[in-house]
Amino acid sequence: MNKNDGQGIGLLTCISLVTATMVGTGVYTSLGFQLQDLSSGFSILCIWALGGLISVCGALSYAELASRIPRSGGEYTYLSQIYHPAIGFMAGFVSLIAGFAAPIALSAMAFGTYLHAAWPGCPAKIVPVAAVFLISFFHLQSLQTSSLIQNVTSGVKFLLLATFLLIGVWSVARHPERAALLMPRRDSLSELLHPSSGIALLFVLYAYSGWNATTYLAGDVKDRSRTVGLSLVLGTLIVTLLYVMLNAIFLTVAPENEMRGVLNVASVAASHLIGPIGGALMSGLIALGLLASISAMIWAGPRVTQKIGEDHPMFLKLALTSKNGIPRRATLLQLVLVILLLSTGSFESILICSQIPLLICLILGVSGVFLLRMRSRNSREESLAMGDGSKQKTLLRCPLYPLPPLLFILCALAGLAYSAISKPLFAICGVVILLLPLAFYPWIARKEASCR
């Protein structure tokens, strides 16, 4: 039995972590950008539903990976063990920059935008930085403090969502003619097949990113061989339902021209639902809800950097922890990167440049299910050896295999191809983020070998 199997984070907190990581910046900001390329409400909802299906397929695949390799680190750990340490190092670098620092910066930007809509007098540029500093400080205290902060902020977030959904459903019930905006049109299919829909899908997949959140701190989870996988699947299913309903309400309560290209689409929708004062109040509540997303990513991200430090002597200082087991140096490094992105980047460029390398790493991770099953059959083993050398007693298998991993891989590749056609410069930047760590890894490996 592993030392963390009987203690640590439970299933409820894991689901809270997954849902809080997912429900945040993307769903409150993506629609405005999607309306720049798409005009059919039906097409937009189809893309949100497709994003949910892709994410559920990824979660089902990762449930098996987490059961076979129950160690913190997410893609860094999986790709290191399945492929090669160089590929894992690449994934760790991508997770540090594109997987956590960039999404935290995006969430902080959205937090500042929504808080400014609620309280115009607040300093929009200082508030995001202050929020990241404050939440990082709380997560530097202890695992118990992190769990408490995560559960409380997630509770506020989903209370807000439930309130918004109830008001929206009530409004649509009073004006059923608005539902016609969600019906298919003659051009809906052609819109879905147009390359510009690939960018819309990229925004959707960004909104769903975080379905793999629990894998980054699997080492702190109770009964991790099962709890991690269950939290991924259950959390993703919950969020898919919320996303489709929420975007349907946005599209039916506010005019498209008022949301097109707007970052805080939820503020616009809330103003139409409950008036300007109610819209300002709702914007403030959304800003508070975004703190749960920022908290979840600040909590999970340093665990990847910590694992890199454990595996590579050159980065050993990043693996050092406090008496409470908190990776403080990794947390502070992440904080510095977030501040740099907040001071230099724009929302759209950060999102697209970071999403492309993330999707490639996720494709490699999901593909690992096929490789692990092949190796398992060839060696007549039921699972990979765990980090401490013991064997897994139970194994969660991906249902309907091989359909979920295949569907995830094909849809993610299509989204990447469409994105490269529509935004080639952003695609090049995303590829550069992948190639940099691969280029430096041989030098790092030689330096570490010479020190042994």
For 391, phi then psi, to 5°, come to: -105, 150
Q: Do residues 268 and 254 touch, judged by C-beta distance below 8 A?
A: yes
Whether 153 maps to a domain, the answer reads no
Q: What is the pLDDT of residue 379?
A: 63
Distances (CA, A) of 318 to 76, 78, 310, 333: 15, 20, 8, 8
Whether 114 maps to a domain, the answer reads no
Confidence (pTM): 0.80
Q: What is the pLDDT of residue 4?
A: 46
Whether 24 maps to a domain, the answer reads yes
Whether 3 maps to a domain, the answer reads no
CA angle 348, 351, 353 (to 5 degrees): 100
DSSP collapsed to 3 states, 44-87: HHHHHHHHHHHHHHHHHHHHHHHHHCCCCCCHHHHHHHHCCHHH
Classify residue 252 as exposed, middle or buried by CB count within 10 Å of its CB (0-12, 13-18, 19+).
buried
Q: What share of the chain is helix, strand, coil (3-state, %, to 5)?
A: 80, 0, 20
Whole-angstrom Cα distance, residue 133 to residue 335?
Answer: 7
Whether 121 maps to a domain, the answer reads no
Q: In DSSP terms, which residues pair with 221 in a beta bridge?
A: 9
Closest CA to 168 of 286, 255, 247: 247
Whether 85 maps to a domain, the answer reads yes
Whether 375 maps to a domain, the answer reads yes
Q: For residue 385, give the DSSP letter.
A: P
- Residue 452: CB atoms within 10 A of its CB come to 5
452 residues of the chain, pLDDT tens digit each: 444 444 568 888 888 888 877 887 778 888 888 888 888 889 999 999 999 999 999 999 999 998 888 888 889 999 999 999 999 999 999 989 988 899 899 889 889 888 888 888 888 778 999 999 999 998 998 878 887 887 787 787 778 778 888 888 888 888 888 888 788 888 778 888 777 677 788 788 888 988 988 888 887 788 877 888 889 999 999 999 999 999 999 999 888 889 988 878 888 888 888 888 877 887 887 888 788 888 888 988 898 888 889 888 889 899 988 888 889 999 999 999 999 999 876 777 787 788 889 999 999 999 999 999 998 877 654 444 444 444 444 678 898 999 999 999 998 898 888 778 877 888 888 899 999 999 999 998 888 777 66
Which of helix, strand or coil describes residue 221? strand
Structure tokens at 254: 């506010």
Its domain, for residue 29, covers 11-97+159-283+352-451
CA 305 remoteness from chain centre: 17
Structure tokens at 24: 């945040």
Whole-angstrom Cα distance, residue 65 to residue 85?
Answer: 17
Closest CA to 291 of 167, 115, 98: 115
Distances (CA, A) of 191 to 117, 197, 199: 32, 7, 12
Structure tokens at 65: 């990976």
Whole-angstrom Cα distance, residue 1 to residue 3?
Answer: 7
- Residue 235: CB atoms within 10 A of its CB come to 27
Whether 220 maps to a domain, the answer reads yes
Whole-angstrom Cα distance, residue 199 to residue 219?
Answer: 35
Whole-angstrom Cα distance, residue 212 to residue 65?
Answer: 11
Structure tokens at 252: 């039916």
Whole-angstrom Cα distance, residue 71 to residue 225?
Answer: 9
Closest CA to 435 of 367, 356, 318, 366: 356
- Number of residues in the chain: 452
The number of domains in the chain is: 1
Closest CA to 114 of 254, 297, 265: 265
Q: What is the pLDDT of residue 395?
A: 76
CA angle 387, 388, 392 (to 5 degrees): 75
Structure tokens at 153: 């902020």
